[in-house]
Every structure is written in structure tokens, then in C-alpha cells.
A and B are shown apart, each in its own frame.
Chain A
Amino acid sequence: MMTNLAAGRAADRIMDMAADTAAEAQEMLAITDLKTHFFTQKGVVPAVDGVSIRIPEKQVMGIVGESGCGKSVTAMSILQLVSRPGRIVGGSIMLDGEELVGKSVKEMRNIRGNKVSVIFQEPMTSLNPVYTVGRQVSEAITVHRQVGKQEARQQVVEMFKAVGIPEAERRFNSFPHQLSGGLRQRVMIAMAMVCQPKLMIADEPTTALDVTIEAQILHLMRRLEEKSNTSIMLITHNMGVVAEICDFVYVMYAGKVMEQAPVFELFDHTKHPYTKGLLNSIPKPTEEKQRLYNIKGMVPNLLRLPKGCRFSPRCEYAMPECREREPELYDCGKNHKVRCFLYQKDQGGGADE
């Protein structure tokens, strides 16, 4: 069952894509220098502080990072659904060549669920308990497409089948509480996919699920991504999930991207101390039972970001320079960029570690 061959194929495919970076036109999503801040009573929280993300067509792009790093806020910024004291204060979000920042509420409504859709972590609470799941999914169609009720139902049932919901016809009339967690998440995915969006944002879609169900859902997402033209933005804090299905990975820390690279590149040639820390913290199967590596300290409070590199207080390699000014994203070649002074020298070059 284990097919290293298959893994190799996937790797090839990703390598190909990485080579193709020049194809700017094919970019489904281009976020440039996005800044989303929360204006709270205690001060301004720069939850997303100059993030640039690019997602080519038909790719699964992962964002990882510890809790509170701004992953979800980035995602919600794309849909412009950042909640109350939060506001996009700068940057641009181009979806398929269309600028989203500054769009009117009405225009955004036409994009949500239509061109960009989203699934959340908790499939139970993300579905309205008082309506049947069928109704909730068909709503996503009827709001964007001129279709009749009957036709919408038809499409929903098909979508249900496509996401592997057994007895799709019957499930159409089920209420969320009558479904199991895995089925609910499938319904959410059906809802996200039913308008064939250009981009699907999945914010920790499997965190609340058991491993066996998680595997099913990840597989399903991969398959959907391959079959349709939808790009996926997968938010997670699980390196395993990243390794499992992502093509390209962004590592975020305290509102900034720390490292970005194609998945194989990232795991094979991990550069940023933070990323290294994250990977090393995971207990390795091979390891003898010694102490685990861990990043000391914790994510800083965004209200009081340290001077210089925001990771410097926790960084083993921190240099005096790190406490002085913020590093930029340095390009290390192979589509690999790192925000760390250690790689300043690599700027423009294609050197390995």
C-alpha cells in the first residue's frame, strides 16, 4: 500500500510548479503587504503586519504557525470579514486579477461563497442548527446563481455525492445535529465547493476531528483540488498536515511571514530557526526517549512586540543585530524565502543551507 513511487510523483509535480514561478498571470491570489490591525482599548494589535502571499492556480498552499500568529485574520481579511475592532489598514489582495481591498460591501458579497469560499474548524458550530444541511448548501447556490429550487437541490445532491456523503438524497433533509463530525465537515466542504470557487480557504479544517476522519477529509480535499480549478489555502498548526497535502508553505509568526518555500524544500532545507523549532518540537518516531527540543518562551503579545526581529527573544541564534532591526524576507533561491539575518548573505544567491 505504501507507494514511494506515488510520493515521488507528487514531489515531481511540485518541483515542476516551483520551477514555473515566473507565471505570474496564473496566480489565483496575490496578497501584497497586507496589514490588518485591531484597534482595541489597550492599543493597536497588528495581527497581520505586512503579509504577502501568493497562490498559483490549482495549488494547496499551507499556512502554519503557533496560535495567535495571525493565520485566521489573514484568511478573514481576504473575505473582508474581520470582526469589529479589526480593519484592513494597508496592502492589496488581488483575486484572479481583481483587487478586493476597497470593494464595496455589495461587491464583496458577490465574491464570498462564489469566488472565494471558506470552511472552518468546528463543523458543528459552523452550521446553523435550525436549518437542514441541504437548505444551507443550496442557499450558497441560489444566492449567486439564477437557479430554481429544484435545480439547486439537484446540484447540492450531486455535490454531496462528490464529497462522499452516503445517501446524499436523504442527508439533504438532515439537520446538522443528526450528522457525525466527519459528515458535517463534508457538508461544509460541499458548501464551499458548490459554486466552484477560485479559492477555498480551509481554516484548520481537521483540528477538531479524529485522525482517521482527518485522513479522510485531507484526502477528499486533495482530490477536489485536483479535479477542479480551485486553489486551496490551508491553515493549520500541524506540520504533519502540511507535509501531507500542501504544495507550498508559509510559516507565520506574530503577524509576519517568517519563511516560505515549496513543501519539500521547506522540510528538506529548513532555514528559519522558528521553523526548525517547530519541526524539532514534534516527537520523532526514531528518536530515543530523550528530552524534546523546544522553543523557549511563548508567542509575544502583539501589543508589545520586541524590538528587531520578533522571534529574537526566543531564538537560539539571535545576534545583536536581531534585537536592533527587523530582517527582510531574503530570497534563498528555489522559491525559498526566509526572514532571518542568518540568510542575509544568501540574498539573490542559490546557495543551500
Chain B
Amino acid sequence: MARYIIKRILVAFPVLIAVSLILFVLLNVVPGDPVTVMMREHIKPELIEVFRERMGLNDPILVQFGRYMVNALRGDFGMSYKLQRDVSAMIREAFPHTIKLAIYAALVAWIIGIPAGILSAVKQNTLVDRAFMSFSLMGVSLPVFWAGLLMQYLFAFKLGWLPVTGYYSPRYYILPAIVLGWQSAGTIARLTRSNLLEVMKNDYIRTARAKGLGETVVVVGHALKNAMLPVVTMMAMQVAGLLGGAVMTESIFGIPGLGRITVDAMGTRDMPLLQGSVLFITAIIIIGNMVADLLYAFLDPRIRVE
């Protein structure tokens, strides 16, 4: 197991480096000189070169990248052009909000998605099944920003049940978590359902029934664990995916998380900030996927080491 973990981590590293490189190149071929971005029109033309030199922008891109990576490994993602702040400090400040949102959303997704998936699998082709599946398809089909808007309007503004924006207590997270979670709930419900149906076709389910087990025991005791293996992996991956989804949700619900930083950075061409935050999110996702793999390995005795 230890070997597997190490191997998995070793594979993750080049991916992360490649991700960084691609990101770095992409963002550095963007037209627009960072110095002008920083200074807008206020810089004297003769000073631009001085700044470029000082910022190391005249070095070959790979040298710049190398320097960036070395610093990044030390936890230094540079300075935001726009906000003149330490990018890592900004990320550190924003990340807790995002992860909180992602976790709440994941909880929503699981609490809704898994039972819905089980129920509609058990009641396959009934009204219940169709209702649940339509509901989860809605979740998958709904534009997050639009759903967020409508919910904000309805539950926060019209009905006044929940705060409009903010992040000061769990109450504030209810709406964004539902908006964000609904989407993954849909995916999870569908995956749970199809896996469960698939597993229910297996011979060992027939064996369990032939043993005289009740239908509940068969489903919950025998089918579910097998069906949940991929779902669990999916869930771990989704916590990561939710980080990406948070981009929209945070903007709408005024949560000062990573998503908002990223969108703002993009709007202001703030390369170091954008790079830092996207890289960070990606790293989290890679770690999430890794955890998903390990979780799978841990849960499935066929892979688990004796």
C-alpha cells in the first residue's frame, strides 16, 4: 500500500508540473505587458524597461517558469500585479471559505444524491424513479448562475428566510451549498442508481436472495457496498470538482473565496494571482483524485493489500 501511495504521488507530480507549465505558457502568451497591466497609463515609457528587467520579464520563458516553480515550491507564488499582495497569503486567506463551501455543497450532494439514487434504483421504472431522476437531471442541467440568482431572489429576497450574501455562519452557506450541491447531487444520484442496477444484476445478488435475505438486506448489505465503490471515488473527485464550480457560486453569493479571486484576477489580467489560484485549485483537485484512488483501493478488498 505504501508503495502504491508513493507511486501515485510520484505520478501526480509531473502532472502538476505540466499543469503549471501549460498554465504559465498560456498566461504568458497573453497580449498585454505586465508592467502596463500593473501601472496602467501611469508609467513613464522609459521606466517600462526598468520594471521589466527588475521583474525578470526579459528572461526566456522557461527560465521564468523555472524560477516560478522554485519559488512556488517554497510557497511563494509571487506578488499580485493588481493588488500588490503576496499571492500565497491571498490564497491562504481565501481558501478556507472555498473549502467550506465545497464541503457543505458535497454534504448536500451526498445527503440528497445517494438516497435518491438508491430509491430510484430500487423502485426502477416507477413514478418515484422517474421523479428522482428528473430532479437530478434538472440539477445537472441547471445553469448554476441562474439557479443561484433565482434562489437568492426567492429565498433571500422575497421570503427573507436566508441571508442574501455573506459567509459569516453556516446559515449563509445554505443557499450556495444547495445551488452548488444540487448539480453534484444529480450526478451522484444517477451514478448510484446505475451502479446499483448494474450490481443488482450480479450473480452474488442472486446468491444473497437465495440465502433467504430480505430485499433491504440484499440492497443495503450486499449491493450497496459494491455499488458505492465507484460512487465514493466520484464523491472524492467531486469535492475537488466543486472547487471549480465554486467560481460561479462565490461570485453570486459574495463569498470571498478562491473562485472569486480567480475571476477577479482574470478580469484584471493579474497573472501571478490567476496563476497561483488556478494552480492551487488544480493541485487540490489532483490531490482529491489521488485520495479518491486511494480510497477506492482501501475500500475494495480486491485491491487492498492483505
A–B contact, 8 Å CB criterion (strictly below): yes
A47 CB to closest chain B CB (Å) equals: 16
Tell me the B192-239 residues at the A interface (CB within 8 Å). Answer: 202-204, 206-215, 217, 222, 225-226, 229
Determine the distance from Cα of A297 to Cα of B31 in the docked complex, in whole angstroms.
Answer: 75
Determine the distance from Cα of A105 to Cα of B210 in the docked complex, in whole angstroms.
Answer: 12
Q: Is A143 a contact of B213 with CB atoms below 8 Å? A: yes
Q: Is A130 a contact of B225 with CB atoms below 8 Å? A: yes
Q: Is A118 a contact of B213 with CB atoms below 8 Å? A: no
Q: Is A109 a contact of B301 with CB atoms below 8 Å? A: no
Tell me the nearest residue of chain A to B228, going by C-beta: A130
Q: Is B209 a contact of A175 with CB atoms below 8 Å? A: no
Chain B residues within 8 Å of A175, by CB? 301-302
Partner of A143, one of B211, B225, B301: B211
Chain B residues within 8 Å of A213, by CB? none
Q: Is B41 an interface residue (CB 8 A)?
A: no
Tell me the B257-306 residues at the A interface (CB within 8 Å). Answer: 299-302, 306
Chain A residues within 8 Å of B211, by CB? 112-113, 117, 139-140, 143, 191
Q: Is A81 an interface residue (CB 8 A)?
A: yes
Chain A residues within 8 Å of B206, by CB? 81, 120, 126
Total A-B residue pairs with C-beta atoms closer than 8 Å?
A: 73
A125 CB to closest chain B CB (Å) equals: 4
Chain A residues within 8 Å of B202, by CB? 125
Q: How large is the interface on A (under 10, 10 to 19, 20 to 34, 35 or more residues)?
A: 20 to 34
Q: Is A280 an interface residue (CB 8 A)?
A: no
Chain A residues within 8 Å of B209, by CB? 79, 81, 112
Partner of B204, one of A112, A129, A177: A129
Determine the distance from Cα of A111 to Cα of B301 in the docked complex, in whole angstroms.
Answer: 31
Q: 8 more A-B contacts (CB under 8 A) besides A117-B210, A125-B203?
A: A112-B211, A113-B211, A118-B207, A118-B210, A129-B226, A129-B302, A136-B207, A139-B213
Q: How large is the interface on B (under 10, 10 to 19, 20 to 34, 35 or more residues)?
A: 20 to 34
Determine the distance from Cα of A194 to Cα of B206 in the docked complex, in whole angstroms.
Answer: 18
Chain A residues within 8 Å of B204, by CB? 125-129
Name 14 A/B residue pairs within 8 A (Cβ), A-sorted. Answer: A79-B209, A112-B209, A112-B210, A112-B212, A113-B212, A120-B203, A128-B204, A128-B207, A128-B222, A130-B229, A130-B299, A130-B301, A143-B213, A175-B302
Closest 3 CB pairs of A and B: A113-B212, A113-B211, A112-B212
Q: Is B210 a contact of A109 with CB atoms below 8 Å? A: no
Interface string of A162-201 (1 = CB under 8 A from B): 0000000000000101100000000010010000000000
Determine the distance from Cα of A137 to Cα of B86 in the docked complex, in whole angstroms.
Answer: 61
Interface string of A24-66 (1 = CB under 8 A from B): 0000000000000000000000000000000000000000000
Tell me the B50-73 residues at the A interface (CB within 8 Å). Answer: none
Tell me the nearest residue of chain B to A79, going by C-beta: B210
Tell me the nearest residue of chain A to B209, going by C-beta: A81
A36 CB to closest chain B CB (Å) equals: 16
Determine the distance from Cα of A126 to Cα of B217 in the docked complex, in whole angstroms.
Answer: 17
Q: Is A334 an interface residue (CB 8 A)?
A: no
Determine the distance from Cα of A144 to Cα of B206 in the docked complex, in whole angstroms.
Answer: 17
- Contact of A128 with B301 at beta-carbon distance under 8 Å, contacts A109-B214, A139-B213, A143-B213 already known: no
